[in-house]
Amino acid sequence: MELVIKIILSFTFILSTHQIQAQKNHCPPQYCGTNPLPIRFPFTLQGQQQPQNCGGYPGFSFTCSGDIEGRGVPLLTLPYSGNFSVRYINYLMQEIQLYDPDGCLPQKLMALNLTSSPFEAMYMDEFVFLSCPRAAVAGTGLATVDCLGNATSAVVATTSGTLAGSMSMCTTMFKLPIPVSWDDGGGGGGGSGDWLSSDLGGDLRLTWSFPDCKGCEARGGVCGYDRNSTVGGITCYFHHEKGKRGLEVFKIIALSIVIPAILCSICISCFTCIVERRAARNRAATVAPPPPQPPAMVGLDESTIESYKKVVLGESKRLPGPNGVTCPICLVDYCPKDELRCIPECQHCFHSECVDEWLRLNSSCPLCRNSPSHPLEAV
Ligand SMILES: *[C@@H]1O[C@H](CO)[C@@H](O)[C@H](O)[C@H]1NC(C)=O
Ligand SMILES: *[C@@H]1O[C@H](CO)[C@@H](O)[C@H](O)[C@H]1NC(C)=O
Ligand SMILES: *[C@@H]1O[C@H](CO)[C@@H](O)[C@H](O)[C@H]1NC(C)=O
Ligand SMILES: *[C@@H]1O[C@H](CO)[C@@H](O)[C@H](O)[C@H]1NC(C)=O
């Protein structure tokens, strides 16, 4: 009888997990033209039709513009600061990587005011901008901000007061706090936080704290407005198409094991009643069917994983496709000679050892959750 109860319990467990996983996101990601960067909550693309309750969070909307190659590029307009092109969005770290569509980010940084935007700079550093005669900086190894200079003067941006004081041939243009990230030191530099001079050539990296979806993303979900909430609450949705299909199959298998098992154990119980003496021996001889295992995640096989393109990063650390400077899985910045693997359909790249491990357990891209075999499968 104990056996029967056990089986019935595990059977109801299967049914109940099936119900928990039924909550699906109904908001498909948006795309700007052919740009494979997925735009999803809290971001939205203005002027594109979306299902009800699928809007973005205030301050998180993009317009779609074309770049020089004609590819769509999401454009973020920051109040008081102008337009920025979006290179990459790290939903897990809640970080957005921006560049200037006009090619002179330092110019934009001078006017940057994040007061009325939901974004924050990771780090700020006080820079002194010096205008120097070209001859004075030639051969010094100092990095110059090329797009601010002209034929006769070069602009040097430095965080070092000593350097600024010693450059007697230069005139101080202005002193400004500039958002920086530790790893785009550009030209020569001292330790972190004290760069001698910078070309300010790296992308602008900003973070956001609200809405906080880090926990949801880390569990493999996607944040969105709660369909049931009238006050615009946020909830975590899961994309379990594959898992659910696996569960259906598993349920059928479980049923075909459980029903004969129940019948079997009833027979055994009766039999033990009738032949009391032999009961002990009989029970020992009857091997209980193994308890149903929880469904395994459906990963990809080695040969499929191996067939995805592998890239070895060069010194320039230039990545193909819409990729940031950080591996979204291990959250470590890429270094030259790192081996990356890219998922063919969405072109998202990761450290090869990180993504291989992931793909053995999951068949979807860890970033956009698109399954490589079904690229833009609507949720
Ligand atoms: C920013 O982009 C919007 C939409 O594309 C455009 O209407 C606006 O004029 C742009 N602003 C600047 C300062 O370029
Ligand atoms: C940013 O803009 C706000 C609103 O216009 C203003 O009050 C604030 O002083 C500005 N901050 C900076 C650093 O310019
Ligand atoms: C170059 O810029 C400096 C100041 O930044 C200015 O004084 C000078 O007139 C400019 N020269 C030319 C040729 O535009
Ligand atoms: C919305 O309400 C329905 C029925 O009341 C419930 O089954 C569902 O889980 C709720 N969804 C969310 C996201 O809370």
Say yes or no: CB of residue 80 within 6 Å of ligand 2.
yes
Residue 269 lies inside a defined structural domain of this protein: yes
Instruction: Write out the H or E segment, with its range, that includes residue 76.
Output: strand 72-78
Instruction: Look at ligand 2, atom 5, and give the residue with the nearest C-alpha.
Output: 80
Mean pLDDT of 336-347: 85
**Cis peptide before 42, with omega less than 30 degrees from 0?**
yes
DSSP 82-147: EEEEEEEEETTTTEEEEE-TTS-HHHHHHT---TTSSEEESEEEEEEEEEEEHHHHTTT-----GG
Say yes or no: CB of residue 182 within 6 Å of ligand 2.
no
Q: Which ligand is nearest to the CA of 79?
A: 2
% residues pLDDT > 90 (the chain): 24
Which pLDDT value is given to residue 186? Answer: 43
The pLDDT tens digits for 3-43 are: 555 555 455 444 444 444 436 677 889 999 888 899 999 99
Say yes or no: CB of residue 153 within 6 Å of ligand 3.
yes
- DSSP 3-state of 120: strand
DSSP 344-376: TTT--EEEHHHHHHHHHH-SS-TTT--BTTBTT
Say yes or no: CB of residue 183 within 6 Å of ligand 4.
no
Range of the domain at 340: 297-379
Which pLDDT value is given to residue 117? Answer: 92
What distance in angstroms lies between residue 66's CA and the mean position of ligand 1's atoms? 13
The minimum-distance atom of ligand 1 relative to the CA of 83 is: 1
Pick the last residue of a domain from 174, 202, 230: 202
Say yes or no: CB of residue 113 within 6 Å of ligand 2.
yes
For 104, other C-beta atoms within 10 Å of its C-beta total 15
Domain count, the chain: 3
How does residue 310 score in pLDDT terms, banded at 50, 70 and 90? confident
- DSSP 3-state of 305: helix
Residue 353 lies inside a defined structural domain of this protein: yes
Choice among 67-81, 113-127, 238-252, 329-343 with the minimum mean pLDDT: 238-252
Choice among 63-67, 84-88, 116-120 with the minimum mean pLDDT: 63-67
Residue 62 lies inside a defined structural domain of this protein: no
Which pLDDT value is given to residue 274? Answer: 59
How does residue 189 score in pLDDT terms, banded at 50, 70 and 90? very low
Pick the last residue of a domain from 221, 253, 286: 286
Residue 309 lies inside a defined structural domain of this protein: yes
Residue 359 lies inside a defined structural domain of this protein: yes
CA–centroid distance for 136 within its chain: 45
Which pLDDT value is given to residue 181? Answer: 72
Mean pLDDT of 221-241: 80
How does residue 76 score in pLDDT terms, banded at 50, 70 and 90? very high
- The answer to whether residue 276 scores a pLDDT higher than 50 is yes
- The answer to whether residue 379 scores a pLDDT higher than 80 is no
Say yes or no: CB of residue 129 within 6 Å of ligand 3.
no
Mean pLDDT of 161-178: 88
Which pLDDT value is given to residue 240? Answer: 55
Phi and psi at 5, nearest 5°, equal: -60, -45
pTM to 2 decimal places: 0.62
Q: How far apart, in whole angstroms, are the C-alpha atoms of residue 300 and residue 374?
A: 13
Residue of higher predicted confidence among 239 and 280: 239
Residue 163 lies inside a defined structural domain of this protein: yes
Residue 127 lies inside a defined structural domain of this protein: yes
Assess whether 119 and 198 both reside in one domain: yes
Choice among 48-62, 69-83, 292-306 with the minimum mean pLDDT: 292-306
The minimum-distance atom of ligand 4 relative to the CA of 237 is: 13
Which pLDDT value is given to residue 61? Answer: 93
Assess whether 302 and 375 both reside in one domain: yes
Residue 358 lies inside a defined structural domain of this protein: yes
Assess whether 375 and 311 both reside in one domain: yes
Spatial CA neighbour of 133 closest among 154, 147, 148: 154
Which pLDDT value is given to residue 193? Answer: 40
CATH number at residue 308: 3.30.40.10
Assess whether 146 and 198 both reside in one domain: yes
Q: Which ligand is nearest to the CA of 25?
A: 4
Spatial CA neighbour of 85 closest among 72, 93, 76: 76
